[in-house]
Amino acid sequence: MSAKTQFLKKLQAQQSSPHSFNSKSQADIAEWCMRMKLLQEQMEDWLVDTGVRPESTPVSLTDLLVEEGAFDVPGIILRYKNRSITFTPLFMYGHGVTGCVEVSLWAEEKATPLSRLFMRAGHIPGWSCTPPGTLSRPDRAFNEEGFFALIAALLP
């Protein structure tokens, strides 16, 4: 485990320990929101001196597996000229993941799915990704190299 991963895991434990949640789903929603915030911060680091900045955008989700039914998770938008890439939370629970984010290119008023990011259940740090339309479990780690390969579509 890298020093960064250890630091983020320890920070996460300290940030989440003073909170008490009435249910597992409330804790999972809080975890997902925090991980989206950390992902946006990581993107900001990766994009230093590029002129491209990630923006946060609220996304409302409805999930029948969550007792409240509806909740908000931040999404992320990257803009360059008249194109953008969105990281939009899609669903909370599914096949060993606790949080799915669809990554899409928006160009010429049309959305093209690029990938899906998955936050694994069990507080495993990092994100995994899979190409759109793939039904298999995600197995590729989402890292800086994968990020730049994904956002290459932002440039015409």
**pLDDT tens digits for range 43-68:** 999 999 998 999 999 998 887 666 67
Residue 15 — very low, low, confident or very high, per pLDDT cuts 50/70/90?
low
Report the chain's C-alpha Rg in angstroms. Answer: 16
Q: How is residue 139 written in tokens?
A: 């197995």
Averaged pLDDT of the chain: 83
pLDDT for 28: 83
Only one residue has tokens 């928006």, namely: 106
What is the percent of the chain where pLDDT is above 70? 82
Which pLDDT tens digit goes with each residue over 88-123?
999 887 777 788 899 999 998 899 999 999 887 665
Cβ-count burial 144-154 (b if 16+ within 10 Å, e if not):
eebbeebbeeb
Residue 135 — very low, low, confident or very high, per pLDDT cuts 50/70/90?
low
C-beta of residue 63 within 8 angstroms of C-beta of residue 93: yes
Q: How is residue 89 written in tokens?
A: 């939370």
The ranges assigned to domains in the chain are 24-154
pLDDT for 24: 77
Q: Is the pLDDT of residue 153 over 80?
A: yes
pLDDT for 25: 76
pLDDT for 104: 95
